[in-house]
Structure 1
Amino acid sequence: MAGGKLSARQKMINLMYLVFIAMMAMNMSKEVLSAFGLMEAKFASSNLATTDRNETLLADLERKSEEKPEEFLVPAAKAKEVSNASEKFYNYLETLKNDLLKKGKYTIDPETGKLPFEAMDKTDILDEAWFTGDRFTKKGDEVMANIESYKAEIRRILGEDIKYKKALESFNDLFNTDKVPNKDDKKIEWLNYHFQGFPAIASFTKLTAMQNDVKVTEAGMMNLFLGNVLTDAVSLNKYQAIILADKSAFFAGEKFQGRVVIGKYAKVPPTGLSIGGQAIDLEKAIDSTGAARLDFSVGGVGEHEIDGKFTFLEDGKPLEIPIKGNYVVVPRPNSATISADKMNVVYRGVTNPMTISFAGVPDNKVQANGAGLSRGSGMGKYNMKPTAGREVTINVTATLDDGSKVSDKAVFRIKDIPKPTGKIVGQSDGKLPRNNVEIGKVEAILEDFDFDLPLTVTSFKFKVPGQPSVTCSGNRLSGAAKAALRKAKRGASVQIFDIKSRNSGGPAIKPATPAVIELAN
């Protein structure tokens, strides 16, 4: 720990580690525990003071960002992000300290405001909460996850800017959680090395010291952002990469074409602005950055040009800067594509209507094919008449404006037409007069079926209790069936079953469910 000129804070940290080592070689005396307590109090006091300074620095940056946004807006935004991330992690460390006090049943003296340093000698509080065998507990994993999350957030805020490289290196060193070699030169996890087996006051002090690291990091970042703004003002960092697209809308699969230039907004107020020959009200159009906002009705579907000019006063003479650009108008969507993932079903033997389209591609450049699929009438309309198999795949190919092709596919399950319901005189059960049954028409009805598919009954069987069943052709009772019906007693239940039917030009239909009728007379 020697070598070089150390700051007072680093000397304090080094002293803490020396005390750690000393505690390994001696019994934990009250004096040693009190030393940790005094050290924790100093860190806590430093944290309060640093918090006040950080708030002042942040307020100064925010004020400067309003006065000189071109110089301080970005640094102030980064400082705010650092402040939020640091506060979140600082508060999390505070919850760990509170948990330690609660589990150890330690209370702060209400008169002195101090912890019971000499009584905080337990070593099993965090050992049981954070460690199990050679692994972390769920809580231990949570602690490491929060540390890594804070580190990742600070790295994201600083990014890859070369100006922040040294600050990032210092931050990574300060919050280095790599494995650490123990006294046997065996590398162990960072969390084990710093917290396992230590008395409660040592762990509590370590957490406060880590909070101090957070506050010091925050202060360093604030000063970094404040100290770099003058350099930024004369460097290319004050310029922006501005993308100038050849058009403001592109179709899927189309190549993006445009230019990237380095520039920045001019704060010089223009004396005139016109678009398409129409003068624009400067008071409403120019924002705080010097940019002009355009607000006009677009033309019809297709590509359109923007033609105008900016007028400035330079050397007492008007200077015109041409405005050139274009934009693309695409049709406003008026329908949504909604599908039930488990309901991709088509029925065998019927014409299944389908709508097939490819987003952003006209219908005449979309091709779809599949077994039994044919073009229908209308934009994107198709008809599917599946035959053999249990599945059918529909492949769709679209040709983009640049001639390239994209494709997709969907798989549909093929189902047979469901079993129809057998009926006579519109009833499948219940009571009917004998005469109604004798002259009634037998039907096979597809109830709750999505398609209007009329079926013609070709044959059925008729059964009267105590008599043999009679096979009938067509959809009405034969003479033999009528004779059997006349012999049936009042209240008897007659059955019409094995009802066979067909659809013109369609596949075989399953026999309908039987109809059971009680004779009312």
Structure 2
Amino acid sequence: MAGGKQSPRQRMVNLMYLVFIAMLAMNMSKEVLSAFGLMKEKLSASNIRATEKNEASYDVLAQKAAEQAKQYGEAKQKTDTLRTMADGFYAYIEDLKTQMTSDLEDKTAYESMDKSGFLDQYFFANGKISPKGKEFVDKINEFREKSLEVLGESELSEVIKERFSTTDKKNKEGVTVNWLKYNYEGFPLIASLTKLTQIQADIKTTESDALSALLQGELQSAVSMTKYEAMVVFDKGAYYPGEKLSGKVILGKKDPNLTAEKVIINGEEIAEEKIQAGQVILDGPVGNVGDKELLGEFKFKEADSTVTIPIKGAYAVIPRPNEALVSADKMNVVYRGLANPLTISIPGVPGNKVSAKAPGLRRVKGDSYIMSPGNGSEVNIVVTGTPTGADKGVRSVKKFRIKDIPPAVGMVRGQYGTVKMPKSSVGRVSVAAGLPDFLFDLKLNVSSFKIKVPGQVAIPISGTTMTSRAKAALAKARRNDVITIFDIKASVSGSNYKIKKVLPVSIEITN
């Protein structure tokens, strides 16, 4: 528009165009200013709610620290320090916001808060950062560094560094700009008020995050004694006559600072020296052979009441073994082509101290084994182990029969034998194979079969469904004809083992 000599009319058109753009910009600015105002209101309301929630958490923590000083004293000390810093910083920003709006009659007239004069003079002077501006940045840096010092190294550290960062920024032209100028110089008043309210929100969020981090989860849930569970833990699962009972009753959340008011087991109060680190030391005799039970309760003081946590446990006293116990989880045979699960153990001997050997046998975990037998009709499993406290080990040999997977049966529609159905349905059936009386739940895959229609030659088929040739032969079948599906080839799903025999299935035409 500025190039070349312009006529008076052209200059008038250009001037009107500029006025039109200015009017659009003014309208857009009003909408943006109102949006900032709405955001500030929502942030302010959120800060009020956050303050109330944090106050409640501080009160609960103070009560818990009074009841269990060793347990919660350090957490309370850290949060009290953070709380003092947060309150001071929050009040400083609130005072600044009050100064910014002191000359405004209507604090909600956001569309009129389009000037940047207050902070431009308050934070900056002659193009440089004023002492007030430096004080503002120092307040942010001080809160960030002291918060990190109180909380120590944690997952929250990086969040706080980012949340209260004052690192210089690059503008859209790629030029590095001082953080304070980048965020507050030349901005409308309402935009700066909103940014300051956001910093207040960050302060409240940091307090909330710190409470959760220091107490490892939601405060009220974590500190309540009702969340603890009493567990009886013995040094081993079974004992022999004459042995000493060894073990302990502990709480689900073990803590060296946790001490019960009283512990009672089987009607007797436990001595104070045996109650330590949130647990009770057991060291009495185990008793005679048989099942034993421990019943009792923990008693803790909480607020003005006493919380009782029940204790319930059991153990067995068993005779010393002289042979291993081996059981097949399915039956007294193992099947060729399958991973047969076995449980192998010796009473009174930990699973990792038991050794079992046989061709095709491997340990899965603990006393669980898998037997994949090879050729032959029998396999011997040799089990050895030494019970705790025994003078000599135990050796036992168990014999298992090896059998092939029994014959499967052909199936259509999930049925076997002779299945009745209308002629129109036969061409759509899918041929399958199954082991209805077998103890293992196996899936069999059919690869091929043959079909014989009365009066027609047998037709071989690959896959599980009828071919066009088979359907043509089926079209000639009559009512009461029995169609035979035979020579079914199947294998065990997930392995290369082929079923040696699959019995045929018949279809009787009903109409």
For the superposition of Structure 1 and Structure 2, which TM-score range results when normalised by the shorter chain? 0.3 to 0.5
What TM-score, normalized by structure 2, do the two folds share? Answer: 0.38
| TM-score under structure 1 length normalisation | 0.37
